[in-house]
Amino acid sequence: MAERADVVVVGAGPAGASTAWHLARLGLDVLVLDRARFPRDKVCAEYLSPEASRILTAMGAMPEIERAGAAQLAGMRVRAPNGSTLEGRFAAQHGFRGFRDSGLALRRTILDAILLDRAREAGARVIEGVRVTDVQRDDNGRAIGVTGLMQHGTLDVEARLVVGADGLRSIVGRRLGVTRTARWPRRVALVAHYRNVRDVTDVGEMHVERDGYVGLADVGHGVTNVALVVPVATHGAALRDRAALLDGWLASKPQLADRFRDAERIDAVRATGPFASTARPAWAPGAALVGDAADFFDPFTGEGVYAALRGGELLAPFAAENVRSTDARHADAALRAYERARRATFGGKWQVERIIGATIAVPALINHAARALSRRREMADLLVGVAGDFVPANQVLRAGYFARLLVFGA
């Protein structure tokens, strides 16, 4: 089978759906391919930062997300190994406000299907059940399409631009030779849903321990998402029995064991990882990457879905310019400008993520930071606002912020 489009988008998760929606609205002929059939699940803690609501609203997805019973999250609480607990709220006195004063949490089976429907509604064509296996190139190495496998036969798509929105182990990024898997941190995640977890509130929780961290969040309808992240080095072997690892880990932490005593796990424990991976640059002649395919570090700050949605929004005008260019140099310049825009938009957040990633790996550091932030609520609010994507990262990347962390954590 053969198809032709202005843009072929590989991957129909939040990055692919957002890219397709924005490009279709700009009048381009967009074809989206995904190996899965929707609704499909994705290993995720399922929390959406307050700023994600801005793009979801623009895409017209909010009414259905609310009808689906998404939970509202007012902020985040982080407990360090020494028991120090910081709590930050999205609605705070620091002078910054998100698009909404709360984050959302919703099962990815529901969210991703809603987003893909929005892309279809905007005019994008979608073919499910196609596993893309290669990027086609011309004699100059420029991407000119993709090849995929379907249940019965192959699909060749010719396109002016190939967008890799195919997640962490992006085939597009790997075929273009731009994906780098980080050596550190090497962590894996186990995710499952539970009912009857005690004392779950409208504040998302992170419990950092010496042997990993776990996130708990209400995802609506009385269901709690439980996402455990552990180092591969210490837990690799135990991954063979995921349920035993997750249940055993929860039972070994006194502050959690009690809350899970009457809880019931309602689905299989699913695993993914290691996750840290980047594409530098996130483009090559004839192709661009977005979402996890372009960059993902660690789930702790929980904004991958926002970055995926925002990445699509960011890419669309540059992609349109690329497609409408009549010469190759101008087409490449548009994607180079996309790369600069990505760095300007996400660069500060990438730094914050790396600092947090290093801090949670060293118990003495996270204990100190949590002690300081438990004493200075306004600093915790700022950090939670940065994680919520509406407080600029430079607010916590200042020497003054670190100095106060040192002083107040002592």
The verdict on 11 binding ligand FAD (CB under 6 A) reads yes
Please give the sequence-ordered ranges of beta strands (E in DSSP) within 292-366, or none if there are none: 295-296
CB 95 within 8 A of CB 404: no
Report the alpha-carbon distance of residue 291 to residue 311 in Å, rounded: 6
Shortest Å, Cβ 84 to ligand FAD: 23
CB 249 within 8 A of CB 212: yes
Quick note: the x/- pattern for ligand FAD over 359-388, rule CB under 6 A, is ------------------------------
Quick note: the x/- pattern for ligand FAD over 257-276, rule CB under 6 A, is ---------------x--x-
Subset of residues 76 to 105 that bind ligand FAD, contact rule: CB under 6 A = none
Task: Tell me, by CB under 6 A, how many residues bind ligand FAD.
Answer: 40
The verdict on 16 binding ligand FAD (CB under 6 A) reads yes
Q: Which is nearer to ligand FAD, 163 or 396 (CB)?
A: 163
- Burial degree of 272 (CB within 10 A; 0-12, 13-18, 19+): middle
Shortest Å, Cβ 96 to ligand FAD: 19
Q: Which is nearer to ligand FAD, 146 or 405 (CB)?
A: 146
The verdict on 185 binding ligand FAD (CB under 6 A) reads no
The verdict on 245 binding ligand FAD (CB under 6 A) reads no
Residue nearest to ligand FAD (CB): 304
Q: Which is nearer to ligand FAD, 149 or 333 (CB)?
A: 149
Report the alpha-carbon distance of residue 123 to residue 100 in Å, rounded: 28
The verdict on 186 binding ligand FAD (CB under 6 A) reads no
CB 338 within 8 A of CB 320: no
Bond before 185 cis per omega within 30 degrees: yes
Shortest Å, Cβ 293 to ligand FAD: 6
Report the alpha-carbon distance of residue 21 to residue 32 in Å, rounded: 10
* Residue 269 CB neighbours (<10 A): 20
Binding residue (CB under 6 A) for ligand FAD from 191, 276, 279, 331: 191
- Per-residue HEC secondary structure of 202-248 comes to CEEEEEEECCEEEEEEECCCCEEEEEEEEEHHHHCHHHHHHHHHHHH
Core vs surface per residue 344-362: b (16+ CB within 10 A) or e: eebebbbebbeebbebbbe
The verdict on 10 binding ligand FAD (CB under 6 A) reads yes
Shortest Å, Cβ 182 to ligand FAD: 14
Bridge partners (DSSP) listed for residue 71: 105
Quick note: the x/- pattern for ligand FAD over 276-305, rule CB under 6 A, is ---------------xxx--x--x--xxxx
Shortest Å, Cβ 395 to ligand FAD: 20
Q: Which of 207, 225, 213, 227 is nearest to 272 (CA)?
A: 227
Residues that bind ligand FAD (CB under 6 A): 10-16, 33-36, 42-48, 131-132, 165-167, 171, 189, 191, 227, 272, 275, 291-293, 296, 299, 302-306, 308
